[in-house]
Amino acid sequence: MGAAGSKLEKALGDQFPEGERYFGLENFGNTCYCNSVLQALYFCAPFREQLLEYYGNGKNTGDAEENLLTCLADLFTQISSQKKKTGVIAPKRFVQRLKKQNELFRSYMHQDAHEFLNFLLNELVDILEKEAQAVKSDPETSPPEKIANGPKHALANGVSKEPLVTWVHKNFQGILTNETRCLQCETVTARDETFFDLSLDIEQNSSITSCLKNFSSTETLNAEDKFFCDKCCSLQEAQKRMKIKKPPHILVIHLKRFKYIEQLGRYKKLSYRVVFPLELKLSNTVEDADIEYSLFAVVVHVGTGPNHGHYVSLVKSHNHWLFFDDENVEMIDESAVQTFFGSPQEYSSNTDHGYILFYESIGASNNKS
Amino acid sequence: MINPSNGMISTSSTSANTQSPGLKTYFKTPEGRYKLHYEKTHPSGLLHYAHGKTVTQVTLANIKDKPAPSTLTAPPSGFSAGSGVRSAAARLLGTSNGSRGLSFAGGNGGSKSISSSSGGSSGNGSSSSSSSSSGSSRIGSLGTSSSSNSMINSNFDGKGTYLIFNVGDAIFISDLNSQDKEDPIKSIHFSNTSPVCHAFDQDAKDGHDLLIGLSSGDVYSVSLRQQLQDVGKKLVGAHHYNKDGSVNSSRCMSIAWVPGGDGAFVVAHADGNLYVYEKSKDGAGDSSFPVIKDHTHFSVSHARHSKSNPIARWHICQGSINGIAFSNEGAYLATVGRDGYLRVFDYSKEQLLCGGKSYYGALLCCAWSKDAKYILTGGEDDLVQVWSMEDRKVVAWGEGHNSWVSGVAFDSYWSPPNSEGTGENVVYRFGSVGQDTQLLLWDLEMDEIVVPLRRCPPGGSPTFSTGSQSSHWDSVIPVGTLQPAPSMCDVPKLSPVVAHRVHMEPLSGLVFTQESVITVCREGHVKIWMRPGASESQPSNSETISSTSLKEKPLLSSKIGSSTYKQ
């Protein structure tokens, strides 16, 4: 382990970024789903920054009740404050807390990295919202509200959630518009929903661009699946499409590689080759925003099936690409990213497939600090 | 599908599509059906070795009949008459054609005598290469050439059209027209490195007509004829450049002969540098170049030593140069790269003229129209981009691929069905292949706006000399300006005429010949699709050549519009 660390330091030489730490995470028995996502989040610069800032603020108030948020902040602080530049850390408290919080992750079974990410982000938001409510009487110390700038996105109708925008929202939340056009009366009903990530259906030998296009393609609701039109007051045929109304600052794309096959009665892993560019623009937006994103992390599923295998992550930090495999951290060439696209044919021996992609918007962005 | 007797997959013309169960063996276009004629591939044992390491490129090479001293030989049958020589790797499409291919007196096919490995002995060619045809410098740089002359490859009859393609650590050479010979007829293996790109010059003056760029950065020039005459599995009579990556150790990405460059060629590397070599030079001198101070800017350095080879280094961009292409006469050089920029240079002036960024992501390939008015690019935004040299901007985006666009080419043999003499509409036909396994064909139809004919002096640097046309954009966009990525709504969109899934694997390139479209996938399977009307067994020369000459007309009476695009 130590040797591996020094190897990385050697590889980077005097290019080792000032103040940066590259630490592997110990595996506590099938916790690679957790480790791979944690690394991706750690190297999500605005998220890490704001988490550490929050942690700093939290310490001052002396509020010490342990939750997933404090455990995560603890872990990130622990990594960033290491004296050594490389090494291994055991995310023990975090994993214990996670298992305590959610029985899903309690077993030693292989877990889904996307489910974990989803659970974690929602949990963090819940904690922040609760805290915000607790201090509502004293608006001055409400951290989430304070950071908010830019336009507020009141969620249209629908579920009455408080329009509280925490820093987790500010990083990850985007808004989708679900437009349904009744084919009888031509009325367009638009319903907004928020998302932390986009789950995309994938096709063999396609690109993320193409998957995003399919995600937003028009779908006709008919037969069994008619739409209840409020104006016609009846079930009608309709056309539906999903567009991105507000693109998130951090765009997380989940490739639906685990598909339930009815004939088999179980999930199957799709090893399809889905190429993802290092830079991406969303074209399925409501306004032609042309916001450019840059890839900074990939969670990779290794293995042939959904119930076993391994997770690793690729992370871009200060223009270097790093490969995190639990305890091990290695430097890789940018061109190595394309070895994780998937297999153009089913029989391939290559089982390392990009599963969750993390893009950060670059350039003109309203919430870049 | 595997013939175990010799480990080779034999080409079979009758049972086409052996590699691709479930794929259609034809596709329809407005002008008729393209039919899968046959497939070429490589020994199967290489498949897994090759996986992911290198991507197959294909180069078409026409070896002319040995020049008969005084008489014009009848055109050799089939493809060789008109298909000319095109390198898919270098995307130099649409240069040579029927007319040039038929001028047998002028060209020469390289080394006449089998026993000599010294390349050009034909008087016609070597006379004009002033600095000694220097056969000695390239003898036996791989050490095997001396022993190779004892046996003669019975598969090679001295002429013909060949497909050169790389798979894994080997180069394969296949007879384009062969259906019965053992095929590929030749394989050349490289140890510890892999061939990545290649280029062929049918008018090479001293026999060295084939260039090979390797993943180690090394470059070879050889005589294709000589390789075919030899039965070994190593290069023979090769000239070795950038030996062991001594000048640049990053991967060769794309390689091209300079058209009319008298044996000059350029090699683009993965670190954003391009080197200019002269094949007649032995490269004895010091060939170091100054340290690049600013990696973000274009700069050219010339070798300090007059004897050194490479003679110049062009630092083009940060990150890899993914593709290069010369315009027909060699006036312009286009490059595309990891940074997403297309750059167009005045080659002789070593000056950046114009360029622009992709919608997003890297650009992977580029190709010129025959008249040097348009450049196609393809890249990681799934778009086929049409760049106009006149407007110095992107004039159209082709939408239709579901993945990255890995190969683009103009079809210079195609002529619009109703182009009879009028020349009212200039329509360009082009093709693209992608990692979505599809071949797409497109028509780019220009508007009826008539602009004065602007003559391009051959070999010169035609653009900015005179004419009111050039002044209008010179005042708007200064020379050397790179355009930012256009907005989605600002660029007119094209839709393909045809989309056809041609392979099981992601594609890596395409080549148009007079009779066919050749597609190749990353894993090294090549398919030859016959054009409508082209007879499968006996391609007719007269018919296709006359159609090529028809093609010249609309290109000369050029008109460029900007607004309407054929859907």
DSSP string, B415-474: --TT-TTT--S-EEEEEEEETTSEEEEEEEE--S---------TTS--TTSS-HHHHHHH
Q: What percent of chain B has pLDDT over 90?
A: 49
The model's pTM: 0.81
Active site residue A320: no
CATH, domain range A2-149+165-362: 3.90.70.10
Buried b (16+ CB within 10 A) or exposed e, B167-185: bbbbbbbbbbbbeebebbb
- Show Cβ contacts of residue A89 under 8 Å, excluding neighbours closer than 6 positions: A23, A24, A25, A26, A75, A78, A79, A82
Least confident of A221-230, B48-57, B276-285, B344-353: B48-57
Residue B390: name the closest of B459, B467, B330, B457 by CA: B467
Structure token pair of residue B240: 């070795």
Mean pLDDT (whole number) for B103-131: 35
| Predicted local confidence at residue A64, as pLDDT | 62
Asked if residue B448 has pLDDT above 90, the reply is: no
Structure token pair of residue A177: 């518009």
Q: How far is CA A160 from the centre of its chain?
A: 24
Element (H, E) at A131: helix A113-134
Asked if residue B554 has pLDDT above 60, the reply is: no
- Show Cβ contacts of residue B124 under 8 Å, excluding neighbours closer than 6 positions: B67, B106, B108
User: Are A348 and B489 within 8 A, CB to CB?
Assistant: no
- More confident call, A19 vs B51: A19
Mean pLDDT (whole number) for A273-282: 96
A281 in B contact zone (CB under 8 Å): yes
Which residue of the set A114, A301, A310, A320 is catalytic? A310
The answer to whether the CB of B382 falls within 8 A of the CB of A207 is: yes
- Show Cβ contacts of residue B476 under 8 Å, excluding neighbours closer than 6 positions: none
| Predicted local confidence at residue A319, as pLDDT | 93
- Residue given tokens 């119930």 in the structure block: A307
Structure token pair of residue B120: 């050009």
Q: How confident is the model at residue B159 (pLDDT cuts 50, 70, 90)?
A: confident
Residue B136 main-chain phi, psi, to 5 deg: -60, -35
Element (H, E) at B163: strand B160-167
Mean pLDDT (whole number) for B418-447: 82
The ipTM assigned to this model is 0.89
Q: Which long-range contacts (CB under 8 A, 24 or more apart) does B449-453 make?
A: B449/B559, B449/B560, B449/B561, B449/B562, B450/B559, B451/B558, B451/B559, B451/B560, B453/B556, B453/B557, B453/B558
Chain A residues close to B439, C-beta within 8 Å: none
Most confident of A262-271, A314-323, B464-473: A314-323
Mean pLDDT (whole number) for B381-409: 96
Alpha-carbon distance of B387 to B389, in angstroms, equals 6
Q: Nearest chain A Cα to B523, which residue?
A: A344
| Predicted local confidence at residue B255, as pLDDT | 98
Most confident of B88-102, B411-425, B449-463: B411-425
Residue B440: name the closest of B565, B380, B529, B544 by CA: B529
Most confident of A253-257, B155-159, B186-190: A253-257
- Show Cβ contacts of residue B199 under 8 Å, excluding neighbours closer than 6 positions: B59, B87, B89, B90, B92, B210, B211, B255, B256, B257, B265
Structure token pair of residue A136: 């509502």
For chain B, domain boundaries: 26-556
Query: How many Cα atoms within 13 Å fall on the side-chain side of residue B283?
Result: 22
Q: How confident is the model at residue B146 (pLDDT cuts 50, 70, 90)?
A: very low
- Show Cβ contacts of residue A62 under 8 Å, excluding neighbours closer than 6 positions: none
| Predicted local confidence at residue B456, as pLDDT | 35
B166: which DSSP letter? E
Q: What percent of chain A has pLDDT over 90?
A: 61
Asked if residue B138 has pLDDT above 70, the reply is: no
- More confident call, B540 vs B439: B439
Q: What is the dihedral of CA B420, B423, B424, B425, to 10 degrees?
A: 90
Chain B residues close to A277, C-beta within 8 Å: 360-362, 380-381, 404
- Residue given tokens 């002036």 in the structure block: B349
- Show Cβ contacts of residue A21 under 8 Å, excluding neighbours closer than 6 positions: A79, A80, A82, A84, A85, A86
Q: How confident is the model at residue B33 (pLDDT cuts 50, 70, 90)?
A: very high
Q: What angle (nearest 5°) sits at the alpha carbon of residue B519, between those of residues B518 and B521? A: 150
Burial label for A141, CB within 10 Å (0-12, 13-18, 19+), is: middle
- The pLDDT mean for chain A works out to 86
User: Are A290 and B487 within 8 A, CB to CB?
Assistant: yes
| Predicted local confidence at residue B151, as pLDDT | 52
Q: From the list B270, B360, B504, which residue is nearest A345 (CB)?
A: B504
User: Are A344 and B504 within 8 A, CB to CB?
Assistant: yes
Asked if residue B9 has pLDDT above 80, the reply is: no
Alpha-carbon distance of A226 to B349, in angstroms, equals 66
| Predicted local confidence at residue B288, as pLDDT | 82
3-state secondary structure of B277: strand
The answer to whether the CB of A6 falls within 8 A of the CB of A86 is: yes
Least confident of A55-59, A124-128, B471-475, B553-557: B553-557
Chain A residues close to B404, C-beta within 8 Å: 207, 275, 277
Alpha-carbon distance of A61 to B270, in angstroms, equals 53
The size of the A-B interface in CB pairs under 8 A is 76
| Predicted local confidence at residue A265, as pLDDT | 87
A348 in B contact zone (CB under 8 Å): yes
Asked if residue A364 has pLDDT above 80, the reply is: no
Q: Nearest chain B Cα to A207, which residue?
A: B403
Asked if residue B433 has pLDDT above 90, the reply is: yes
Residue B378: name the closest of B391, B369, B387, B370 by CA: B387
- More confident call, B490 vs B4: B490
Q: How confident is the model at residue A101 (pLDDT cuts 50, 70, 90)?
A: confident
Mean pLDDT (whole number) for B311-330: 96
Residue B166: name the closest of B252, B269, B92, B279 by CA: B252
Residue A27: name the closest of A80, A72, A94 by CA: A94
Structure token pair of residue B355: 């360029």
- Show Cβ contacts of residue A26 under 8 Å, excluding neighbours closer than 6 positions: A88, A89, A90, A91, A92, A326, A327
Alpha-carbon distance of B299 to B293, in angstroms, equals 9
Most confident of A244-258, A284-298, B285-299: A244-258
Q: A15 to each of A4, A81, A319, B467, how far by Cα in Å?
A: 17, 19, 10, 52
Structure token pair of residue B457: 């002096």
The answer to whether the CB of A312 falls within 8 A of the CB of A323 is: yes
Q: How confident is the model at residue B336 (pLDDT cuts 50, 70, 90)?
A: very high
B486: which DSSP letter? P
- Residue given tokens 């049972």 in the structure block: B15
- More confident call, B281 vs B565: B281
| Predicted local confidence at residue B45, as pLDDT | 56
Buried b (16+ CB within 10 A) or exposed e, B12-29: beeebbbbbeebeeebeb
Most confident of B109-113, B144-148, B205-209, B297-301: B297-301
- More confident call, B425 vs A153: B425
DSSP A215-263: HTS-EEE-GGG-EEETTTTEEE-EEEEEEEEE--SEEEEEE--EEEETT
| Predicted local confidence at residue B479, as pLDDT | 85
User: Are A275 and B380 within 8 A, CB to CB?
Assistant: yes
- More confident call, B107 vs A115: A115
Q: How confident is the model at residue A39 (pLDDT cuts 50, 70, 90)?
A: very high
B75 in A contact zone (CB under 8 Å): no
Element (H, E) at A33: helix A32-42
Chain B residues close to A350, C-beta within 8 Å: 51-52
User: Are A206 and B436 within 8 A, CB to CB?
Assistant: yes
| Predicted local confidence at residue B108, as pLDDT | 36
User: Are A339 and B52 within 8 A, CB to CB?
Assistant: yes
Could you please state the CATH topology (level 3) that the domain comprising B26-556 is classified under. Answer: Methylamine Dehydrogenase; Chain H (2.130.10)
| Predicted local confidence at residue A81, as pLDDT | 93
Mean pLDDT (whole number) for A91-106: 89
Asked if residue B157 has pLDDT above 50, the reply is: yes
Give tens-digit pLDDT for A42-79.
999 999 999 999 888 766 555 567 899 999 999 999 99
| Predicted local confidence at residue A225, as pLDDT | 86
The answer to whether the CB of B260 falls within 8 A of the CB of B280 is: no
Element (H, E) at B376: strand B374-379
Q: From the list B360, B401, B522, which residue is nearest A281 (CB)?
A: B360
Mean pLDDT (whole number) for A6-31: 91
Asked if residue B123 has pLDDT above 50, the reply is: no
The answer to whether the CB of B95 falls within 8 A of the CB of B370 is: yes
Q: From the list A275, A290, A339, which residue is nearest B488 (CB)?
A: A290
